[in-house]
């Protein structure tokens, strides 16, 4: 059986859409209905697919995230090691490396730092504020069968508002309450080849510059996911997740 690739998790941003005055809790540290932080659910999701090696790019709230992971995973059989800007927790079946570029570093800079903790092999890339019931093996298998620099997961989103059509006489002819949009969006799950690092520059933006550049050169593949997708961008997203758990349980821990 092929060993699953390592995953790099981006969890160092400021999370400004979540924050209000006096609220300085990092988004990955926010609690879900079982009382566990979002980040632990994200880690558990990847572990269900056999992922054992994690590189976490931390920044804002790094101390709180580091403390959580040490308390959760640095048991009697685990060892910790530190270096300039990084800390590693190594256990029997798990290795977590935290690399800290500060709260203001761009994604490309964080990825370039993470490179020093990866072998020269394909790796998974994801965000620490997204959950889904995606079968991760679909992404891995799709990427391994291509020469793409990066393969992403695409999904559809529901509109946050009711959508309508109005005719020339200003009459509403159609109304749909928060419909699912037809356009696909990036779901925040990627499988990357080492050649990705050839186009990363610290001054460039990953989504604005790098992804369009790779797309224009035909080096981006995709897997379409039609199932559950939960991006935790706003406080309302956490409230919606609570409602989902009450109805259906933790679906992301039982991927399709």
244-255 pLDDT, tens per residue? Answer: 888 888 888 776
Contact 38, 32 (CB under 8 A): yes
In a domain, 165, yes or no: yes
How many domains in the chain?
Answer: 1
In a domain, 31, yes or no: yes
- Dump pLDDT digits (tens) for 150-191: 999 999 987 777 778 888 888 888 887 776 767 899 999 999
In a domain, 236, yes or no: yes
Residue 229 CB neighbour total at 10 angstroms: 21
Residue 60's domain is classified under what CATH number?
A: 3.90.550.10
As given in the structure block, the two tokens for residue 34 are 């079982």
Helix or strand (DSSP H, E) at 173: strand 172-176
H helix count then E strand count, the chain: 6, 13
In a domain, 55, yes or no: yes
Contact 220, 99 (CB under 8 A): no
In a domain, 2, yes or no: no
In a domain, 1, yes or no: no
In a domain, 133, yes or no: yes
Which residues, in sequence order, are CB contacts of 26 under 8 Å at separation 6+?
A: 11, 15, 60, 61, 64, 65
Q: What is the pLDDT of residue 73?
A: 87
Domain boundaries, position 173: 7-253
């Amino acid at each position: 059986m092929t060993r699953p690739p390592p995953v790099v998790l981006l969890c160092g941003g400021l999370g400004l859409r979540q924050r209000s005055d006096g609220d300085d809790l990092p988004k990955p540290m926010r609690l879900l209905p079982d009382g566990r932080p979002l980040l632990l659910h994200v880690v558990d999701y990847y572990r269900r697919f056999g992922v054992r090696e994690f590189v976490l790019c931390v920044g804002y709230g790094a101390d709180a995230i580091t403390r959580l992971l040490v308390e959760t995973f640095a048991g009697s059989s685990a060892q910790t090691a530190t270096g300039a800007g990084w800390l590693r927790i190594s256990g029997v079946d798990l290795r977590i490396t935290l690399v800290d570029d500060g709260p203001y570093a761009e994604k490309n800079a964080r990825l370039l730092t993470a490179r020093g903790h990866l072998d020269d092999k394909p790796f998974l890339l994801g965000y620490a504020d997204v959950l889904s019931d995606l079968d991760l093996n679909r992404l891995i298998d799709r990427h391994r069968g291509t020469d793409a620099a990066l393969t992403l997961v695409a999904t559809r989103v529901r509109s946050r508002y009711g959508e309508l059509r109005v005719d020339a006489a200003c009459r509403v002819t159609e109304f749909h309450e928060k419909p699912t949009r037809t356009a696909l969006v990036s779901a925040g799950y990627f499988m990357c080849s080492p050649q990705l690092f050839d186009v990363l520059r610290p001054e460039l933006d990953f989504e604005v510059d790098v992804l369009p550049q790779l797309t224009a050169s035909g080096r981006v593949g995709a897997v379409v996911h039609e199932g559950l997708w939960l991006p935790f961008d706003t406080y309302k997203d956490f409230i919606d997740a609570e409602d989902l758990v009450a109805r259906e349980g933790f679906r992301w821990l039982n991927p399709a």
